[in-house]
């Protein structure tokens, strides 16, 4: 099966994924009375496993909801020594270079991967390891916070393969790496 590393993430107009305090309440600043999942369910059902930075992992652990993933979650961290007992069957620490990490995951037959967390996404982009990105833009300027993108050693061209608008306010663009 084809290997694919995907991003599905929401940003502010100025490109932040968390505000200056690390908060994400602004994601819900546009009313969504019908609880539209904005393509997330369709996206996640095509995913075999997640690769997530430690900070995003801790954010998700802190949400007052049931663990939201059915797939294995591989957590990148130099600091975390072990996954909390409550999640040891759901999340796994993984070490190595990104290529080594991908090899370890692919060896398990997990090929379609969801890459999440700002630092994590940036490190994948630096090595040109992202194949597609679904970027949902919330019309708010946060003025600071955690950026999605950063410097890259080289330009990376993408082609837009889809676009949607939700509630006439939220735009979502689907990009595929043009190699």
Ligand X SMILES: NC(=O)c1ccc[n+]([C@@H]2O[C@H](COP(=O)([O-])OP(=O)(O)OC[C@H]3O[C@@H](n4cnc5c(N)ncnc54)[C@H](OP(=O)(O)O)[C@@H]3O)[C@@H](O)[C@H]2O)c1
Query: Nearer Cβ to ligand X, position 2 or 83?
Result: 83
30 binds ligand X per the rule CB under 6 A: no
Q: Which of 119, 137, 171, 172 binds ligand X (CB under 6 A)?
A: 119
How many residues bind ligand X (CB under 6 A)? The answer is 24
Cα–Cα distance for residue pair 170/93, rounded to 1 Å: 34
Shortest Å distance, C-beta 118 to ligand X: 3
CB 165 within 8 A of CB 36: no
Confirm or reject binding of residue 133 to ligand X (CB under 6 A). no
The helix-helix angle for 54-62 and 118-126 (nearest 10°) equals 150
DSSP state of 88: T
The token pair that represents 172 in the structure block: 């979502």
Binding status of residue 129 toward ligand X by CB under 6 A: no
Q: Looking at 6, 51, 115, 116, which residue binds ligand X (CB under 6 A)? A: 116
Q: Which residues contact 178 (CB under 8 A, 6 or more apart)?
A: 157, 158, 159
Interface residues toward ligand X, by CB under 6 A:
9-10, 17-18, 22, 24, 53-56, 59, 76-80, 98, 116-120, 123, 146
């Amino acid at each position: 099966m084809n290997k694919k590393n995907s991003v599905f993430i929401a940003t502010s107009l100025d490109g932040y994924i968390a505000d200056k305090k690390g908060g994400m309440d602004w994601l819900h600043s546009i009313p969504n009375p019908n609880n539209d999942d904005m393509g997330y369910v369709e996206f996640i059902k095509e995913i075999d496993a997640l690769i997530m930075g430690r900070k995003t992992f801790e954010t998700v652990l802190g949400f007052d909801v049931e663990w939201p993933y059915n797939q294995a979650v591989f957590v990148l961290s130099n600091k975390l020594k072990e996954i909390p007992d409550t999640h040891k069957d759901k999340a796994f620490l993984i070490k190595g270079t990104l290529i080594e990490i991908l090899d370890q995951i692919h060896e398990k037959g997990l090929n379609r991967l969801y890459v999440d967390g700002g630092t994590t996404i940036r490190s994948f982009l630096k090595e040109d390891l992202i194949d597609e990105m679904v970027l949902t833009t919330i019309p708010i300027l946060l003025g600071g916070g955690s950026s999605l993108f950063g410097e890259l050693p080289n330009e990376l061209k993408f082609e837009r393969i889809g676009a949607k608008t939700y509630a006439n306010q939220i735009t979502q663009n689907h990009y595929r790496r043009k190699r």
